[in-house]
Structure 1
């Protein structure tokens, strides 16, 4: 049974206090009433109450003063104000000081209970968000980034120093080496950790969509722009914005991004008024941006704006001593997800893991382990060499992709069958919607960016669905 919510009542009218106290008690709440606000504050402890209800006009101390003192000790505790003389100015003043709601006298018991339920529900959501943020901070703490190699320790040492400094960081490294994980670790260990972390893969969107996804647009900016739309950069206001594969930014977007980094503002498509946004920008690339600057495909001034601090992630083949820990971590995650009890790899299979070249880095290792565990038979405790050989070649070169069209799903390894199913589903959706990617994405329950990325991933051509 859930614990009863505790409500502190403050009103200099003794009769109203008794009425509210009884109504709340009758509806399953614990309530305690005070006619003297000073005495109420003497007994106030931040964790002792779930809601405070106070009158605004009281002798000796106003409700606004009570509100201020409560918020000084417990910022997220909801406070409801009661008044018989509600004015717009008074309401604005109370809300600015942190009041959750205003209740005007006289009121019916039903209205009181309705407002109380709303306030407590809001408080519950805030608590859930706070717990989620703490969980995310723990998930992306340095201790949870797996590995003890010298290269990784050097990276984490650098991350620890720059996380607290609000500066731009360029993360470099091969595809699949964990660049976004490092970006998230920077965010969740920074002063911005309670605000949003928003990421976009610049390689996953066509040039025509990238600018509107980043900066948003005004209604009527182009055909199909039926309403104002907030861009991802604006959605990250107060938090951190992560540009993955930043080397794929087209020149026109590079110009707009540079202006934002210089002025902290941008102009949305179709708009004439600048939009100001406060974000920390992190970016990542597996390309050589210095060479791109020389080739004229990346702006030199933008490169230096993004590359205030550089963090280079070593490839997995440069930190082979971390492979057993990473393998154990991914096996544990799969066991938790599917209720299995695989203990690890047999000795020979582990040797293959450590000697393999891993061109796809940590992402490839995770996918191979997931595929191996899908093939482990019931009662088998360890992944054997024969199972591993289905997904990588032992000479260090990755296996050729199994030709999906040549075999039925029942003949394919788990991951290949899953890939085939996803590709066929996308083609079917696109055919059903006449090639309208936006409509197909909505039916699939994904955003357009994800849909474009999956179309590119599976190599689906327009002639296959039009």
Structure 2
């Protein structure tokens, strides 16, 4: 049996208050009635109530102030306002402050119950949407990080742990290894996931523009500043700011950023009053910041502030077993985008791709796959086409690269995990799973049999 919905009732008219309480209790709700608004607000705890019903005109603390205090502490809890003097102005004021509904005295018990049911239903739908969004967004961000290598799995385990802790993280690794994807995974699996993820490449803007972009500026602060401008730090309030290539920050910006990390406040260009925001800083670099500290180009105190936790992404040449999985993912994505039917790499192209060092890492592999698919005339990407986009030594064309057995093992792990997640997501419905995966039902059944997966174990 489900627990009854909990309703806080506030009205200084004791007779009306007791009448509403009796009506709601008779309908199966758990109700606590208050005739003094101060006592009600003092007793309010966000996790203890599903709905608040309050009169507007009350001595001491009126209903609008009650509404404000409740919404400050629990924005998701709906509040129904009761009044005998409903004016348009009062209604607008209450709705702007976050009221869900207005109930005008006198009213019948049926009208009260109708408004209560609507408010609770609306609240439940919002909560379900929030839960679904958290589940889908978090899963989506991890699903975009493709790979089965031990090093990557260990890294993702660490990502899950640091995501929930509001601390600074420095992500290191060569260009193209997916540092921003890791930053997104941290943000979308953290308590800040419902707020903004804002990214900036610190090496892509000149010094003067970078400072204004990050911290904002006051009208007239410099030539061309024709209006007050919000910076990215302020835009990310409540969320996460990702500083890519943080090693390129000029010294004056480093100083301002350090002050923000220490005080959670900063000065817009041209202003003397600080602006306070609540932002988590994630940063990334493909250079060695310790070298920058040694040669004086990067502040040591800022380095330690940013590098509370370090996550290092290995280059693709150190996780060759992930190359087939990444290639398959990119081919699938391009097939969906351009309605093509490429089946993968030819055996020779597969061996060459696994042997290649990929100096541009995942970004280069993705670009090469896309280029190959644009010019390839067959159903598979051939070695001849692959050689047009990367240099393959003659010795590597016949080499082993990723042995077929290793490729098969990696592919089996990937497909097994994917199928299990698919069954869980669709509740074991094979038809829905086939639609989701873009496969026919016979293929799904064949793969389940191949990997000895029982759908009832994962529904």
TM class by shorter chain equals 0.5 to 0.7
Map of 2:136 onto structure 1: 135
How far apart, in 2, do the equivalents of 1:292 and 1:280 lie? 23
Q: Deviations over 1:412-447 (max 9, x none)?
A: xxxxxxxxxxxxxxxxxxxxxxxxxxxxxxxxxxxx
Q: Gaps spanning 5+ residues in structure 1: where?
A: 1-9, 13-34, 46-51, 107-119, 397-466
Q: Deviations over 1:330-376 (max 9, x none)?
A: 11111121221211110000111101111110011111111111223
Cα distance change of structure 1 residues 267 and 381 upon mapping to structure 2, 3 Å threshold: same
1:448-463 correspondence runs (5 A): none
Q: Would you say the 8 A contact 1:356–1:395 is kept in 2?
A: no
How far apart, in 1, do the equivalents of 2:104 and 2:232 lie? 40
Cα distance change of structure 1 residues 123 and 309 upon mapping to structure 2, 3 Å threshold: same
Q: Would you say the 8 A contact 1:173–1:312 is kept in 2?
A: yes
Q: Deviations over 1:21-61 (max 9, x none)?
A: xxxxxxxxxxxxxx94653574679xxxxxx99784699xx
Map of 1:190 onto structure 2: 190
1:5-84 correspondence runs (5 A): 36=20, 39-40=23-24, 42=27, 56=55, 76=76, 81=81, 83-84=83-84
Cα deviation for residue 250 of structure 1 reads: 0.5
How far apart, in 1, do the equivalents of 2:105 and 2:190 lie? 45
Question: Matched residue of 1:140: which SS?
Answer: helix
Cα deviation for residue 80 of structure 1 reads: 5.8
How far apart, in 2, do the equivalents of 1:152 and 1:328 lie? 18
Map of 2:304 onto structure 1: 304
Cα distance change of structure 1 residues 222 and 64 upon mapping to structure 2, 3 Å threshold: closer
How far apart, in 1, do the equivalents of 2:269 and 2:295 lie? 29
Cα deviation for residue 393 of structure 1 reads: 1.3
Q: Would you say the 8 A contact 1:95–1:101 is kept in 2?
A: no
Q: Could you tell me the TM-score, scaled by structure 2's length? A: 0.64
1:64-463 correspondence runs (5 A): 76=76, 81=81, 83-85=83-85, 98-100=98-100, 132-141=133-142, 144-377=144-377, 380-395=378-393
How far apart, in 2, do the equivalents of 1:249 and 1:395 lie? 40
Cα distance change of structure 1 residues 267 and 58 upon mapping to structure 2, 3 Å threshold: closer
Cα distance change of structure 1 residues 298 and 38 upon mapping to structure 2, 3 Å threshold: farther
How far apart, in 2, do the equivalents of 1:146 and 1:44 lie? 48
How far apart, in 2, do the equivalents of 1:55 and 1:252 lie? 53
Question: Matched residue of 1:180: which SS?
Answer: helix
**Larger deviation, residues 128-137 vs 150-159:** 128-137
Give the paired residue count: 344
Cα distance change of structure 1 residues 227 and 183 upon mapping to structure 2, 3 Å threshold: same
Cα distance change of structure 1 residues 154 and 53 upon mapping to structure 2, 3 Å threshold: closer
Cα distance change of structure 1 residues 156 and 39 upon mapping to structure 2, 3 Å threshold: same
How far apart, in 2, do the equivalents of 1:289 and 1:101 lie? 55
Q: CA RMSD in A?
A: 4.3
Map of 1:20 onto structure 2: none
How far apart, in 2, do the equivalents of 1:389 and 1:75 lie? 58
Cα deviation for residue 394 of structure 1 reads: 0.9
Cα distance change of structure 1 residues 139 and 304 upon mapping to structure 2, 3 Å threshold: same
How far apart, in 2, do the equivalents of 1:220 and 1:125 lie? 43
Cα distance change of structure 1 residues 219 and 84 upon mapping to structure 2, 3 Å threshold: farther
Q: Could you tell me the TM-score, scaled by structure 1's length? A: 0.63
Q: Would you say the 8 A contact 1:54–1:63 is kept in 2?
A: no
